[in-house]
């Protein structure tokens, strides 16, 4: 039986970015789900299991740092990758402090995206009960 594709949630308010990430990561063998804001991203993250979250940093309804922290409240193990235009060292530090494992800059780090996603997801198996319950 063919193994299920690894699931990635991309939360970005630019449709073009979500389309590009879906195409790029889809060709690499991943299934990509998209959300356009904090509320939608949080709803999807809480409703199903993903192998990776890819977050932007700025949304009309909040910011990616808050989204990252809120995901960490119920999912402390799934890797989070920021892929954003905020390029200062302080931005990177804030993203990692919020709970992300990696921070890449748009568009400069696009060539590192698939490699980073593959490294973060790796061959990790989904462990039953590894997610924390929502309060």
Residue 102's contacts (CB-CB under 8 Å, 6 or more residues apart) are 79, 80, 81, 82, 116, 120
Find the helix or strand (DSSP H, E) in which 128 lies: none
Q: In the prediction, which pLDDT does 124 show?
A: 54
Residue 97's contacts (CB-CB under 8 Å, 6 or more residues apart) are none
| Phi, psi torsion values for 87, nearest 5 degrees | -115, 5
CB 83 within 8 A of CB 113: yes
Q: In the prediction, which pLDDT does 120 show?
A: 97
pLDDT value at 123 more than 60: no
pLDDT value at 118 more than 90: yes
30-62 per-position pLDDT tens digit: 999 999 999 999 999 999 999 999 999 999 999
pLDDT value at 131 more than 60: no
**Tokens at residue 69, please?**
């922290």
Q: In the prediction, which pLDDT does 129 show?
A: 38
Q: How many residues does the chain have?
A: 135
CB atoms within 10 A of CB 64: 28
3-state secondary structure of 47: helix
55-111 per-position pLDDT tens digit: 999 999 999 999 999 999 999 999 999 999 999 999 999 999 999 999 999 999 999
Choosing among 3.40.50.2300, 1.10.620.20, 3.60.150.10, 3.30.70.1290, the CATH entry for 7-121 is 3.40.50.2300
pLDDT value at 17 more than 60: yes
pLDDT value at 126 more than 90: no
CA 3/CA 84 separation, integer angstroms = 31
CB 16 within 8 A of CB 39: no
Residue 127: pLDDT band by 50, 70, 90 thresholds? very low
Q: In the prediction, which pLDDT does 1 show?
A: 64
pLDDT value at 134 more than 60: no
């Amino acid at each position: 039986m063919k193994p299920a594709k690894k699931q990635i949630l991309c939360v970005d308010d630019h449709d073009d970015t979500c389309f590009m990430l879906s195409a790029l990561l889809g060709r690499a063998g991943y299934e990509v789900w998209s959300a356009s804001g904090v509320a939608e991203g949080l709803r999807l993250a809480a409703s199903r299991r993903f192998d990776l979250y890819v977050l932007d940093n700025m949304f009309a309804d909040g910011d990616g740092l808050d989204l990252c922290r809120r995901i960490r409240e119920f999912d402390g193990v799934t890797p989070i990758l920021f892929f954003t235009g905020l390029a200062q060292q302080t931005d990177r530090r804030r993203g990692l402090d919020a709970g992300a494992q990696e921070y890449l800059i748009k568009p400069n780090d696009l060539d590192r995206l698939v490699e980073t996603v593959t490294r973060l997801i790796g061959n990790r198996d989904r462990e039953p009960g590894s997610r924390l319950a929502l309060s």
